[in-house]
A and B are shown apart, each in its own frame.
Chain A
Amino acid sequence: MAQPYYRAHVLTCAGSGCTASGSTSVMLSLETEIRRRGLHEEVKLVQTGCRGFCAMGPVMMIYPEGIFYCLVQPEDVPAIVEETLLKGRPVQKLLYREPDSAKRLPFYKDIPFYGRQMRIALRNCGFINPEDIDEYIARGGYEALAKALFEMSPDQIIDTVKKSGLRGRGGAGFPTGLKWELCRKAPGDIKYIICNADEGDPGAFMDRSILEGDPHTVVEGMTIAARAIGAQEGYIYCRAEYPLAIERLKKAIAQARDYGLLGDRILGSDFSFDLRIKEGAGAFVCGEETALIASIEGRRGEPRPRPPFPAASGLWGKPTNINNVETWANVPPIILHGADWFASIGTEKSKGTKVFALTGKVNNTGLVEVPMGITLGDIIFDIGGGIPDGKKFKAVQTGGPLGGCLPVDMLNTPVDYDSLTSAGATMGSGGMIVVDEDTCMVEFAKFFLTFAHAESCGQCTPCRIGGKRMLEVLTRITEGKGTMDDLEKIDVLARTMADSSLCALGQLTPSPTMSSLRYFRDEFIAHIVDKKCPAGSCRELVHSRCSNACPAGQDVPRYVGLIAEGKFEDAYRVITEVNPLPAVCGRVCDHPCERKCRRGQIDDPVSIRALKRFAADQMRGLKPEPPARRMDKKVAVIGSGPAGLAAARSLAQEGYQVTIFEALPVLGGMLAVGIPEYRLPKSILHEEIENNILSLGVEVRTGMALGRDFELADLKAEGFEAVFVAVGAHDTAKLGVPGESASGVLPGVQFLRDVNLGRAPDIAGKRVGIIGGGNVAMDAARVSMRLGASEVHVIYRRTREDMPAEDEEIHDAQEEGVQFHLLQAPKEILVSDGRVWGIRCVRMVLSEFDHTGRRRPVEIKDSDFVVDVDVVIPAVGQASDVKALRLDGLAVSRRGTIEVDPRSMATSIPGVFAGGDAVSGPATVIEAIAAGNRAAKAIDRYLQGLQPLWVPPAGPTWTRPDAPIKPPYEIVEGEMRRPVMPELALEERMNGFPEVVLGYTPEMAMAEARRCLRCDLEAK
């Protein structure tokens, strides 16, 4: 019968994912529309299996053009027919939009998600109608079987599979050809072949997709193996939760029998083989081959000890070969194209491709098939499109609930069996779950352990009870009830489980926990010792995600709630409980709280910083209560930056006599000399220092630098019993290129300091080149613009996304006319006659990932070029000159910072404490304040003669209410964006240094505050 000729084919995905997103109704309306338009003899509609890009489902492809549509809904059908099928034009809004560039990509082949994939196991998925054997045959199906039957001996088949290097795709990675050979050589007349389709990893669905999208490849692969091994009968053990897969398999088997491809004397040869489907109840442990066999035999699905292995004694005690779906799908192409072809793909010990189910916090979730050896980072960032919402990548879990979590510094790990295993994860069946900064690794480990422990068959002691006990330990830790002893217990339990469990389920149950503990031990310790969940996710420990994210622990929901009620003074007092500088922080804080705000998942995060500023601006002039007691003990604070000011205030409030020693003529440290006036007006800063710190009786001595003007011994002689060193990081890191010492080179920090102290260099009309991508670079650029520079060029070696500067700063700088040169790095500052005239740059390209999760820029050879500038401002980092302090016996880190106990801030010298940038390296205002507060507490204990200087909290410092509490005002629950912050018009800004951001009105502030969801009031 002649097939009608169609001018177009519309392939709609009918995989489970797209079906769930509504592809069935899309297909129905498409069919109706095509008929209505009388196109049904021109356009063929095909239902295919999964195309993998499930995040974008329902997906559709239109041939011959190869147009790719995503998120197709029934209402889009008329446009598709009208525009594409009749007029040949793509429907713009259905095209894939690249997240970065927002460009619409019409063609399948151009979509990055598919670009780096290589499809062998999934070769037919999404291209053929899985219910039509002819379509499979048309794409070369069953040719391999014919070849295996008529051109190859069983030994040749096994030899080919052995040489191809194919390893089991189910998880353990046992060489497939060797497995076949063992079964072939096992004595016995009756032998069985089994397809393990008991795919049980949560999130993994490659086997289902193959069964649904290309069932014949499994039938063909199994039949070839049966011929090689000498089996007469095969079973496909498929979980009953896969009804569509079972239905398609049944159809495929029936069609294959009809065509003489299964059953007696296949294709007229002397070889007979038939297949049966056995539905399993979906127990995870039935993925273990001996448990699977028990289940087929009608027994309880429990593994038994091996040896004997199934190859010797399997189903009904007969030699049996088991492979999983994906392994079988690789067999026909290997037989057809040869071992060498397959072995040319992948790495030395892991050949071919592997399908991964990419899920979690990644832009492009779905099914991807990649050649082995591709790195984790390539999959996550190139194919997966990176992490959504600008969040930071934290870990990737491979291998499902029995795999492991790998951190950012493992992103360059090649994806192959051995590399993943040695990294502490496994290939498993190909689950790949990406998590970002908001995931708590203890909870994540607990999630997998909960699953694995629930799936334990309950036979053997270590798995049955060990898993339970380990889960109990993890639960304790997430509730803040763990002890350091518990980590030891996890270790012991994990060792015993891994070493003495009966099957792989028990042996690998501890793996996710152990890899989390290996790579994220600090996070476990934070839960145990500090009773804190750094990711802000453990409910028993996190009273609200914002305050949890705040280094100083500001009770954000409380003061935001008070603002919503109009109680501005109360709000201000809440803020100042821990923060001496609310007006400052309200302007320049990097607000880590807002990144974690849950409101952000609905529309925008609450403008916490702006609300703080609002409260502070409302309460200008308000002074704190004088200290309740007065003590004789004297404390010296060296440095008047935020760390020093915070410590000084706290100690003064405790009644200590505090004296601040400041090297510069002004107070405020970097706040005064690092941040430009237009972001933080000096008047605001000085007023806040005066009112909130000095008013408590704190003395000040400016122009006094430790090591230059006085020494530790002088302080002791004067009666100071404790010293807090917070001298900041006021030096600029070196670029390390020739020409750096020329006179037109102004280090960034120094440049800003000079401007702030009224000693601005004359750069009017000059071309300024700024090197770096941090906040200092942005400040220097915007200041340069205000000083009348004719051109300002920011040269940065990475991309804009990788810039450490705040987004708003970059945005404002761009708006103000600063020019950005990305992926460029300086090689030399060009100087003649002692004057700078340009920067020789080189173009960069991103390569592998570094420990920050960003791709490392490397030079493109011979891509040098020159940027013409008159002034160069390097701003690539800050440093502090700790040696100049002349503190004998002070422990200093390799980075040149002061080493302290991070909880008490105590240095190696008794009585000397330190904090701020001199300890942490360049950090934020709020971190410095937090350090000052911590140091003040420890100094207080030190001066009272108490040890240890830091006492761990006994449990969570706060308990979540049993029942939800309603605030005394209405929370805005419907969608409402945050208000646009009033800013000074562009033309008014550049004239001098007026403050750009203007702040909220009371009405705006109260409305904004009501957007806070009050997570703190939610019940347990």
Chain B
Amino acid sequence: MTNRVNVTIDGRQVQVEAGSTILQAAREAGIRIPTLCYHPDLAVRAVCRICTVEVKGARTLQTACSFPVTEGLEVRTNTPRIREARRVNLELLLSNHPFECPTCARNQDCELRSLADEYNVRRVRFEGERKQYTIDDSSPSIVRDPNKCILCRRCVDVCSSLQAVGAIGPINRGFDTVIGPAYDEKLAEIACAMCGQCINRCPVGALYEKDSISEVWAALADPKKHVVVQTAPAVRVALGEEFDMPAGSIVTGKMAAALRRLGFDAVFDTNFSADLTIMEEGYELIERINKGGVLPQLTSCSPGWIKFIEHFYPDLLPNLSTCKSPQQMLGAVAKTYYAEQSGIDPASIVSVSIMPCTAKKFEAKRPEMNSSGFQDVDYVLTTREFARMIREAGIDFASLPEEPFDSPLGAGTGAAVIFGATGGVMEAALRTAYEVLTNRELKNVEFEAVRGMEGIREATVDVDGLPVKVAVAHGLANAQALMDKVRARQVDYHFIEIMACPGGCLGGGGQPIPTSPEIRQKRAMAIYREDRNLPWRKSHENPDVQRLYKEFLGHPLSERSHHLLHTHYTPRGR
């Protein structure tokens, strides 16, 4: 039984768990306290000073996000004193913020902008010097505009705590404080995973993805180009949020319809190549186990994770599966198999992907990703960019019909769609590995042990007498914890799935903003719902994949597979 205490908030008696904050207590009581630097994913910083409240007995205002409640605490959340402090602090932030709202990437969902409205700030009384920094657009994934930064530190915390990367931090002090890489280095030059989690947490437009919309519009407008597109599993359960649908809405059919209306020549599904990945990666694992290869095998579909391991655990690169990610596999197949099948000159194919991810932009640009003779993927759009294109095209998303994907790279199984959630790749691999190794039908395809939002999960699956030990981690801090154990040989897993982002791809850095554990949970539930709705739930059952092997690749780990679908990695310094 938990220890509960009585507190009074705005005259209302509330009973809450001891040790919870005033903010939590107020939310339980249905009282809204505005916040800015607070984020449910992150430790409390209490630096913006927007959530200040009056605590009886305290000399100064206290921050609701940090103040722990105790028995008998009396709090007021809405007094002239509080409103003045909040308004003045908002004015101060605005006095050092560029008024570029109409052209800002966060035009519609800027937290500072909505708070200014909420607190009726119609004028900024305090004028003065504004900071002037150059925008860092060196990274292929993330753009930093320190001029818009309000120093809430969310990005710093997400980068160092959730992601264990620590790419950015506060430099200088006082008014000259700026968030950025140490020694003013460029984002492209440092150990940044490009996961984009910072973007998802940024309350304003100080961090946003490197935009590829205009290039894609240009390709679509070019009659000489054949533009193919693929959509990652996690996009279909999040895109709806961009169009005011509740989190967890599944919009697969509308998404395909929208892509066609935007003018894409072929609408493919990354689910197809996710199934293909399982085939290749599964056989790779079986080979490693059978032939005494390097174990544990580590998944390689998350490009943020790849960048991370290249920087921080280069000694573990032999453990990484050599499989390209589903995005790259589809790109490679599109410019070879598909081109061949449909008689299109691969040079005229433009390969676009819709991804929940900013690191995918970096991955697509990796120089080794061109074994077909062409870059596997030409342009990567995040879920957010995709939504912007839909809006720009004047498409009424909600009223679109449900349409299917195109053949031959459009079919996907339930095993593929769960790639979008943490644990999904592992579960998909187990579904296939079990049947391939045992030649018996798997009755219960749902491996609950690898599902959920626990940071690190592990399971042992009996495959025909062989206890296969697996582990799953999401978020790079969890990956770090796990890799430290692997490096120290404290664990003897066969297979480990790592996703760079909390929750897996559904929580990716290219997904709709905001994000929270609650939102991610709803997206995950949608993913598993989609899995259940699909006719095939195991990758090896995918008829298009089977046809691909029959007509083009031969068998998993064939020479052609190796050439087109596998890759190598680059150790990078810190």
Closest to A465 in B: B92
> Provided the pairs A489-B125, A493-B126, A495-B84 are in contact, do residues A500 and B174 lie with their beta carbons within 8 angstroms?
no
Which of the 9-residue segments B60-68, B311-319, B553-561 touches chain A?
Answer: B60-68
B177–A496 CB distance below 8 A: no
**Chain B, 404-428, contact with A by CB distance < 8 Å: what is the 0/1 string?**
0000000000000000000000000
Flag if B88 contacts A496 (CB, 8 Å): yes
In the assembled complex, A622 has its CB within 8 A of some CB on chain B: no
The 7 closest A-B pairs by CB, nearest first: A458-B177, A456-B174, A465-B92, A496-B88, A305-B66, A472-B128, A305-B46
- Cα A707 to Cα B336 in complex, Å, equals 115
| A570 contacts chain B at the CB level, 8 A cutoff | no
| A300 touches B (CB below 8 Å) | yes
Name the residue of chain B whose CB is nearest to the CB of A498.
B60
CB distance from B122 to the nearest CB of A (A): 16
B95 within 8 A of A: yes
**Least Cβ–Cβ distance between A504 and chain B, in angstroms:** 10
Q: Among the listed A285, A456, A468, A489, which residue makes an inter-chain contact with B129, where contact means beta carbons less than 8 Å apart?
A: A468
Q: Decide: B93 and A461 in contact? CB cutoff 8 A.
A: yes
Contact B84 A469 (CB under 8 A): no
Within 8 A of B (CB), among A465-479: 465-469, 472
Let me know if B67 and A307 touch, CB within 8 A.
yes
Q: Are A458 and B176 in contact (CB under 8 A)?
A: yes
Question: Do B84 and A492 touch (CB < 8 A)?
Answer: yes
Residue of A nearest to B125 (CB): A489
Any A CB within 8 A of the CB of B47 = yes
**B-side contacts of A472, CB under 8 Å:** 127-129
List which B158-206 residues lie within 8 A (CB) of chain A: 169-170, 172-177
Residue from B63, B126, B129 in contact with A305 in the complex, judged by beta carbons closer than 8 Å:
B63
> A1001 on the interface (CB 8 Å rule)?
no
Contact: B175 with A467, CB < 8 Å? yes
Given A458-B175, A459-B45, the answer on whether A469 and B95 have CB atoms closer than 8 Å is yes
What residues on B are CB-neighbors of A462 within 8 Å? 49, 85, 88-89, 92
Q: How far is the CB of B498 from chain A (nearest CB, A)?
A: 28
- Provide the B461-492 mask, 1 if CB < 8 A to any CB of A, else 0: 00000000000000000000000000000000
Are A459 and B68 in contact, CB atoms less than 8 angstroms apart?
Answer: no
B44 within 8 A of A: yes
5 contacts between A and B (CB under 8 A): A462-B49, A465-B175, A468-B96, A500-B49, A501-B49
* Bound CA span A455–B176, Å: 11
Q: Within the complex, which residue of B49, B93, B95, B169 is in contact with A300, where a contact is CB–CB below 8 Å?
A: B169
Separation in Å of the B509 CB from the closest CB of chain A? 25
- For residue A457, CB closer than 8 A to chain B, the reply is yes
Q: When the two chains form their complex, are residues B61 and A500 in contact, meaning their CB atoms are under 8 A apart?
A: yes
Any A CB within 8 A of the CB of B537: no
The residue of chain A having its C-beta at the shortest distance from the C-beta of B173 within the complex is A458
Q: Could you tell me the distance between the alpha carbons of A507 and B85 in the complex, rounded to whole angstroms?
A: 13
CB under 8 Å from chain A, chain B span 76-97: 81, 84-85, 88-89, 92-93, 95-96
A292 to chain B, nearest CB (A): 15
Taken together as a complex, chains A and B put the C-alpha atoms of A462 and B84 apart, in Å, by 12
Q: Which residues of A contact B92 (CB under 8 A)?
A: 461-462, 465-466, 469, 496
Interface residue B52 (Cβ < 8 Å from any Cβ of A): yes
Task: Give the residues in chain A near B173, CB-CB below 8 Å.
Answer: 283, 285, 455-458
A466 to B125, CA, bound (A): 12
Q: Is B48 an interface residue (CB 8 A)?
A: yes
**Which residues of the partner chain A approach B63 to less than 8 Å between Cβ atoms?**
305, 502
Contact with B along A487-509 (1 / 0, CB 8 A): 00100110110111110000100
Output the least CB separation between B545 and chain A (Å). 51
Instruction: Give residues 253-300 of B contacting A (CB, 8 Å).
Output: none
| Residue on A nearest B65 in the bound complex, by CB | A305
Interface centre among B50, B84, B88, B96 (most CB of A within 10 A): B88
Are B46's CB and A469's CB within 8 A? no
Q: How far is the CA of A468 from the CA of B66 in the complex (A)?
A: 26
Contact with A along B346-368 (1 / 0, CB 8 A): 00000000000000000000000
B174 in contact with A467 (CB, 8 Å):
yes
Of the candidates B50, B60, B89, the one whose C-beta lies within 8 Å of that of A507 is B60
The verdict on A453 contacting chain B, using a C-beta distance below 8 Å, is yes
Is A499's CB under 8 angstroms from B60's CB?
A: yes
Name the contact of A492 in the complex, choosing from B45, B48, B60, B88 (C-beta under 8 A).
B88
- How distant is the Cα of A468 from the Cα of B125 in the complex, in angstroms? 14
In whole angstroms, how far apart are the Cα atoms of A302 and B61 in the complex? Answer: 19
Scan B309-334; emit 1 where CB is below 8 A from any A CB, else 0: 00000000000000000000000000
Provide the bound-state CA to CA distance between A283 and B46, in Å: 21
Number of interface residues of A (CB under 8 A): 36
Interface residues of B in 369-401 (CB under 8 A from A): none
B307 on interface, CB distance cutoff 8 Å: no
- Complex: how many Å from CA A305 to CA B68? 11
Given contacts A300-B170, A465-B92, A469-B128, contact A499 B68 (CB under 8 A): no
Q: B47 to A461, Cβ gap below 8 A?
A: yes
Cα of A749 to Cα of B487 in the assembled complex, Å:
101
Does A684 belong to the interface (CB within 8 Å)? Answer: no
Q: How far is the CA of A453 from the CA of B174 in the complex (A)?
A: 7
Decide: B176 and A496 in contact? CB cutoff 8 A.
no
The answer for the CA separation of A464 and B172 in the assembled complex, in Å, is 12
Tell me the A262-319 residues at the B interface (CB within 8 Å): 283, 285, 300, 302, 304-305, 307-308
Shortest distance from the beta carbon of A501 to any chain B beta carbon, whole Å: 7
Q: Are B129 and A500 interface neighbours, CB within 8 A?
A: no
| Residue of B60, B96, B128, B175 ringed by the most chain A CB atoms within 10 A | B175
When distances are taken between beta carbons in the complex, the residues of chain A under 8 Å from B93 are 461, 465
The residues of B that contact A300 with a CB separation of less than 8 Å are 169-170
Is B142 on the interface with A (CB-CB < 8 A)? Answer: no
- The reply to whether B84 and A458 contact each other, CB–CB distance below 8 Å, is no
CA distance A307 to B65 in the complex (A): 12
A499 CB contacts on chain B under 8 angstroms: 52, 60-61, 81, 85
Q: Mark B78-118, 1 if CB is under 8 A from A, else 0.
A: 00010011001100110110000000000000000000000
> How far apart are B351's CB and chain A's nearest CB, in angstroms?
44
Contact of A460 with B by CB under 8 A: yes
Residues of chain B lying within 8 A (CB to CB) of residue A891: none
A459 to B150, CA, bound (A): 10
- A67 to chain B minimum Cβ distance, whole angstroms, is 49
Q: How far is the CB of A647 from chain B (nearest CB, A)?
A: 43
Q: Does B154 contact A (CB under 8 A)?
A: no
CA distance A283 to B173 in the complex (A): 10
Kindly list chain A residues whose C-beta atoms are within 8 Å of the C-beta of B170.
Answer: 300, 302, 458-459
User: Closest Cβ of chain B: how far from A481's Cβ, in Å?
Assistant: 12
In the assembled complex, the Cα of A495 lies from the Cα of B60 at a distance in Å of: 10
| Binary contact track B136-154/A, C-beta < 8 Å → 1, others 0 | 0000000000000011010
- The yes or no answer to A860 lying at the interface (CB within 8 A) is no
Q: Give 7 A-B pairs besides A468-B175, A472-B128 with Cβ atoms closer than 8 angstroms.
A: A300-B170, A462-B88, A464-B175, A466-B88, A468-B128, A468-B129, A502-B49
**Are A458 and B172 in contact, with the CB atoms below 8 A?**
yes
In the complex, what residues of A have CB within 8 A of residue B85's CB? 462, 495-496, 499-500
The complex places the Cα of A52 from the Cα of B292 at a distance, in Å, of 78
Q: Which residue of A lies closest to B81 (CB)?
A: A499
B3 to chain A, nearest CB (A): 15
- Cβ of A461 and Cβ of B48 under 8 Å apart? yes
For B175, list chain A residues within 8 Å (CB): 453, 456, 458, 464-465, 467-468
Q: Which of chain A's residues have a CB closer than 8 A to the CB of B172?
A: 458
Query: Using a CB-CB cutoff of 8 Å, which residues 21-47 of chain B contact chain A?
Result: 44-47
A304 and B81 alpha carbons, distance in the complex (Å): 23
A505 to chain B, nearest CB (A): 10
Q: Judge whether A496 and B174 touch: CB under 8 Å.
A: no
Q: Which residues from A are CB-within-8-Å of B88? A: 462, 466, 492-493, 495-496
Whether A455 contacts B89 in the complex (CB less than 8 A), given A500-B61, A502-B47, comes out as no
Q: Most chain-A Cβ atoms within 10 A of its Cβ — which of B68, B93, B125? A: B125
Asked whether A308 lies within 8 Å of B68 as measured between CB atoms, the reply is yes
- Does A20 interact with chain B (Cβ within 8 Å)? no
Quick check: B126 and A489 within 8 Å, CB to CB? yes
